[in-house]
Amino acid sequence: MAFSVLLLLFSLAFLLSNPTWVCGNGELRALMDLKASLDPESLYLPSWTVNGDPCGGYFEGVACNEKGQVANISLQGKGLSGKLSPAIAGLKHLTGLYLHYNSLYGDIPREIANLTELVDLYLNVNNLSGEIPREIATMENLQVLQLCYNHLTGSIPTQLGALKKLSVVALQSNQLTGAIPASLGDLGMLARLDLSSNNLFGSIPTSLAEAPSLRVLDVHNNTLSGNVPPALKRLEDGFLYKYNLGLCGVGFSSLKACNASDHVIPSRPEPYGAATRDIPETANVKLPCNGTQCLNSSKSNKSISITVVIFVVIIAMSAIGILTFTLYRRRKQKLGGSFHISDNRQGTEEAMGVCRKNGSPLVSLEYSTGWDPLAESRNFNGYSQDMFQSLRFNLEEVESATQYFSELNLLGKNSFSATYRGVLRDGSVVAVKSISKTSCKSDEAEFMKGLNMLTSLRNDNVVRLRGFCCSRGRGECFLIYDFVSNGNLSRFLDVKEGDGEVLEWSTRVSIVKGVAKGMAYLHAYRANKPVLVHQNISADRVLIDQRYNPLLADSGLYKLLTNDIVFSALKGSAAKGYLAPEYATTGRLAQTSDVYAFGVLLFQILSGKQEITTSSIRLAAECSNFQEFMDPNLHGRYFEYEAAKLAKIALLCSHESPFERPSMEAIVQELGNCSSCL
Ligand SMILES: *[C@@H]1O[C@H](CO)[C@@H](O)[C@H](O)[C@H]1NC(C)=O
Ligand SMILES: *[C@@H]1O[C@H](CO)[C@@H](O)[C@H](O)[C@H]1NC(C)=O
Ligand SMILES: *[C@@H]1O[C@H](CO)[C@@H](O)[C@H](O)[C@H]1NC(C)=O
Ligand SMILES: *[C@@H]1O[C@H](CO)[C@@H](O)[C@H](O)[C@H]1NC(C)=O
Ligand SMILES: *[C@@H]1O[C@H](CO)[C@@H](O)[C@H](O)[C@H]1NC(C)=O
Ligand SMILES: *[C@@H]1O[C@H](CO)[C@@H](O)[C@H](O)[C@H]1NC(C)=O
């Protein structure tokens, strides 16, 4: 009897001296508060439990630093539909908060400003409203501020100008009003500023135009007015300003010159009251204890448990404990609807049952592990592991870049891949091609061999592969290419008069030359590069950059794909007339079959038409009657001798017999001669 009383008292003393049972450490409590508001129904974060260890590896999306402090929270695209709680301020050592692509609503709590170590703040593509907190000015380590695609109102805080490390600020597609703060020009590291599709007015501050690192400034689709600072010309294609009726300036295409009166436009932000925001309801719910009190009580509990031999004290403590516990239970029942309390209860139950039984320690790690085959230090036929490492992106980067593969960024799709536009953390724009793993070669060594080759391609007319990432979790591989801004060549075919851009003759000639050079490069054997057949030359795979240079896309892509996928792509080529006839008999593709496709492409460029009936063109060309198939949109504005020469080359290239077709190298030379006659 006496023994069991002793046991009871001991266990009570233990429970009371265990700080996590009473209310947890500061960070755990902040996480639990955060969970209660982010995920009020506890649908998505069951792994966050009140008795758990946030750094134990099984809190989904939570990563800790080496000191055991919560450093990153990555819950992008998790379907969260709650609010962001002011409790976030309790995670003082947070460096990355990634909550983009959810359905969070409500304000951005001003307490977020307490996160002075935060480097990345991604709240983009949510339903957040209210103003951007002015207090944000204290987040001195902030480098990336992503708040785009929300419903934020008010003006852009001038205080942003105090955040000297900011390099990317994305506020587009909100309902921001007021002027662009001139203080943004003080940001020495600012590389990318996107303010497009808001309701901003006033002029573009001259100081901003002079920000030394600025490479991209997107202000399109606002109601800006006044003189555009001439210094912005240096950004070239990086300055986007369309759909601002009031802007004027000299030296910018599509802007009218300014009137004298255009120069003086007030650019002071309107005084929006940040003080009148609603305090989120979570702030009103009192927990049994707060930070300082908890600390004290857990300390005293500890010392008590050390001097546990003093029976009287234990009894006193136990009495208090029982009393507290009963009161707590009662209060809990009374406040059953309040989510803090009910969450605590839920968390405790989970911690004791479900979670301990089958908690998977890996759930939260999917984002940072990247791709396993490479993580292991295997050697693929001597390919440099270092080179692969430097080209590897992690999934988080790819997800952030594409805003969690947002439909808004979808550039195109086909049967085995989807391509998204993305912006990397350094502000550079990329195209991310995602390929389902089931479409990738199943033999890993072969896949790596193909990848090695693709990453080694370097030519002005071949789209550069910047890196890759494969995720077992998503079952996809991603190829990250430089983004080419002007679409593909198909866009310039079948243009109806007055509805789309007609390529001038000289542009067409230079595109033909560029494509030929890119193909000649692929076909050539170099010390570090084997001969590569493209296999899929078509107008869709000739991308056009801002300066109308052509770049070949998907070069060698088939090296990564299963035979089924390659075959179905070939069927696509055949349907469009690019597939060389000998494929039907030999079943093989060589350089000469690429040359055939080049011939067809050349006919398309000359005629301006996607659909070409080879027989009619052949007839016309054979009778040197090429005028008949020349693009009528050119209105005869082309050099006949050049057109005749290109038509002849097209004809040769698309010869039935592969042996009659010239090599790409020879074509490049022939076209080079052509330029001398320009
Ligand atoms: C937090 O995220 C950043 C950026 O992705 C990363 O560099 C850093 O290593 C992460 N920290 C931890 C502790 O996981
Ligand atoms: C987010 O906002 C949009 C538009 O206001 C609305 O259609 C959608 O239902 C909202 N989503 C949530 C989860 O509140
Ligand atoms: C946030 O920081 C301010 C000033 O540094 C401090 O007074 C306040 O208590 C902090 N809030 C939280 C919730 O930590
Ligand atoms: C301009 O912004 C509005 C919303 O503010 C959006 O609906 C529209 O698509 C945008 N237009 C362009 C061309 O970006
Ligand atoms: C100035 O602007 C007004 C209206 O915007 C226009 O009517 C006038 O012709 C302009 N004057 C000059 C000198 O461009
Ligand atoms: C905790 O509560 C005490 C007393 O109510 C208060 O003085 C203190 O500021 C609170 N601490 C925090 C971190 O909220």
Domain membership flag for residue 334: no
> Are 127 and 148 in a shared domain?
yes
Helical (H) or strand (E) element with 550: strand 550-552
> Are 569 and 608 in a shared domain?
yes
Residue 86 and residue 477: Cα distance in Å, rounded? 37
> Over 80: is that where the pLDDT of 112 sits?
yes
Q: What value does the mean pLDDT take over residues 169-189?
A: 93
> Over 80: is that where the pLDDT of 369 sits?
no
Domain membership flag for residue 473: yes
Q: What is the CATH number of the domain that holds 621?
A: 1.10.510.10
Residues whose CB falls within 8 Å of the CB of residue 650, separated by 6 or more in sequence, listed in order: 599, 600, 602, 603, 606, 617, 621
- For ligand 6, atom 8, name the residue with the nearest CA: 292
> Are 568 and 532 in a shared domain?
yes
| % of the chain at pLDDT higher than 70 | 75
Name the domain boundary from 466, 483, 500.
Answer: 483
pTM for the model: 0.49
Residues 492-518: tens digit of each pLDDT = 999 887 778 899 999 999 999 999 999
78, with CB counted inside 10 A (0-12, 13-18, 19+), is buried
Of 112-116, 267-271, 433-437, give the lowest mean pLDDT range. Answer: 267-271
Ligand 2 atom at minimum distance from 103 CA: 13
Q: Which ligand is nearest to the CA of 225?
A: 5
> Over 70: is that where the pLDDT of 288 sits?
no
> Are 595 and 620 in a shared domain?
yes
Residue 318 and residue 330: Cα distance in Å, rounded? 18
> Are 245 and 390 in a shared domain?
no
Domain membership flag for residue 348: no
Domain membership flag for residue 298: no
Instruction: Please give the tally of structural domains in the chain.
Output: 3
Centroid of ligand 1 to alpha carbon of 396 (angstroms): 10
Ligand 4 atom at minimum distance from 221 CA: 1
Domain membership flag for residue 440: yes
> Are 490 and 479 in a shared domain?
no
> Over 50: is that where the pLDDT of 54 sits?
yes
> Are 241 and 196 in a shared domain?
yes
Write down the pLDDT at residue 276. 30
- For ligand 2, atom 5, name the residue with the nearest CA: 127
Domain membership flag for residue 219: yes
Residues whose CB falls within 8 Å of the CB of residue 473, separated by 6 or more in sequence, listed in order: 366, 367, 395
Centroid of ligand 6 to alpha carbon of 514 (angstroms): 69
Q: Which ligand is nearest to the CA of 128?
A: 2
Centroid of ligand 2 to alpha carbon of 45 (angstroms): 21
Q: What is the CATH number of the domain that holds 33?
A: 3.80.10.10
Name the domain boundary from 216, 245, 273.
Answer: 273
Write down the pLDDT at residue 412. 86
Ligand 6 pocket mutation pick from 25, 293, 296 by most atoms within 8 angstroms of CB: 293
Q: Which ligand is nearest to the CA of 68?
A: 1
Residues 224-258: tens digit of each pLDDT = 988 899 999 998 888 999 899 889 988 888 888 88
Domain that holds residue 47: 22-273
597 pLDDT band (50/70/90 cuts)? very high
State if residue 290 touches ligand 6 by the CB under 6 angstroms criterion.
yes
Domain membership flag for residue 195: yes
> Are 141 and 74 in a shared domain?
yes
> Are 395 and 536 in a shared domain?
no
Write down the pLDDT at residue 196. 93
Residue count of the chain? 678
Q: What is the CATH number of the domain that holds 394?
A: 3.30.200.20
Domain membership flag for residue 448: yes
Centroid of ligand 2 to alpha carbon of 127 (angstroms): 6
CA angle, residues 58, 60, 66, in degrees to nearest 5: 65
Residue 351 and residue 366: Cα distance in Å, rounded? 22
155 pLDDT band (50/70/90 cuts)? very high
| % of the chain at pLDDT higher than 90 | 41
- For ligand 2, atom 12, name the residue with the nearest CA: 103
Q: Which ligand is nearest to the CA of 79?
A: 2
Write down the pLDDT at residue 119. 94
Name the domain boundary from 216, 243, 273.
Answer: 273
> Are 468 and 548 in a shared domain?
no
344 pLDDT band (50/70/90 cuts)? very low
Residues 449-493: tens digit of each pLDDT = 888 888 889 999 999 999 888 877 777 889 999 999 899 999 999
> Are 630 and 526 in a shared domain?
yes
> Are 204 and 66 in a shared domain?
yes
Residues 622-632: tens digit of each pLDDT = 666 777 788 98
